[in-house]
Structure 1
Amino acid sequence: MTFRDPSKPMWVHALKMLEQADRLQRQFFQLRQSSQSGPMWEPPVDIFETKNELLIWIALPGVAPDNISVIVDNDTLAIVGERPLCAEKTNAIIRRMEIPHGRFERRINLKGGQFEICENTLANGCLKLVLKKI
């Protein structure tokens, strides 16, 4: 007969719940105040680094490519744009609105060198950027 610590599954479950709550809080787009144009939302990102590149995915559901600007300025990558409220939604009663709309901006500090954008694609609601180290 093996002995099992009954508190271990409880703590594992509790930690998983805390991690999930933290992830959801970050995932659902933090709203922040811009000094230039009022409130805007900040999309979540995933960033991976290889020997020669930075791979960045930015969650931008419902944002058209024409509404996104990507700028590398010195050691900062800026992704700015807007997700307008769809015309068919303007006459509807809002039952729930969880996906943000309006202006967005995400700034990422590019530590460790100079980079140039070598790939910029929008697919399945995510903007994929590949930045090559130069």
Structure 2
Amino acid sequence: MQRRDPREWMLAEAVELLQTADRLQRQFFQIGQVAESPCWEPPVDMYENGRVLGLLIALPGVAPEQFEVTLEQQTIVVRGERALGASFGPGAILRLEIPYGRFERRIDLPEGDYRLVEMQLENGCLRLHLEQLT
């Protein structure tokens, strides 16, 4: 059995920690931004099927009245706020990986004119269907 060089796994672990720190920094801190500015961007999946665009936006713990969706030319904008710890009550935070606070996601759409046909929030994800106009 061949032994692994400890420098290899230490380097791999250090790179993973740096990537995690970078992700958390991008989620929670934006240098030079005012308090009202969004502090995180929800992840998005986008797919196309003919003239229909589908978007799936992860918004865990966000109620329908806590966000808005607007269509601005070639961009769809989802913005709102996720309250901190409303579901757990008082206590010490041991780990905080799901982002809280104001959010905004601007998603550039493929060429064409679109209209929002359907919007559905289920299982912590916002599903949008856009139809390309002729």
| TM-score w.r.t. length of structure 2 | 0.72
**Percent identity over paired residues:** 42
Partner in structure 1 of residue 4 of structure 2? none
Which ranges in structure 1 are unaligned for 5 or more consecutive residues?
Answer: 1-16
Point out the structure with the larger strand share.
1
Task: After superposition, give the CA deviation of every residue in 1:75-96 in whole Å (9 maximum; x if it has no partner).
Answer: 1110000001134546310011
How do 1:59-74 residues align onto structure 2 when only pairs under 5 Å count? 59-74=58-73
Which ranges in structure 2 are unaligned for 5 or more consecutive residues?
Answer: 1-11
Matching residue's letter, 1:118:
V
Partner in structure 1 of residue 80 of structure 2? 81
| Distance (Å, rounded) in 2 between the aligned partners of 1:112 and 1:98 | 35
Give the 4+ runs in structure 1 shifted more than 4 A: 27-30
| Distance (Å, rounded) in 1 between the aligned partners of 2:40 and 2:86 | 20
1:52 aligns with 2:32: no
Provide the aligned length of Structure 1 versus Structure 2. 112
* Residue 110 of structure 1: how far off its partner (Å): 1.4
Matching residue's letter, 1:68:
F
* Residue 38 of structure 1: how far off its partner (Å): 3.5
Sort the Cα spacing of 1:61 and 1:72 in 2 relative to 1 into closer, same or farther, 3 A.
same
Query: Conserved in 2, the CA contact under 8 Å of 1:84 and 1:101?
Result: yes
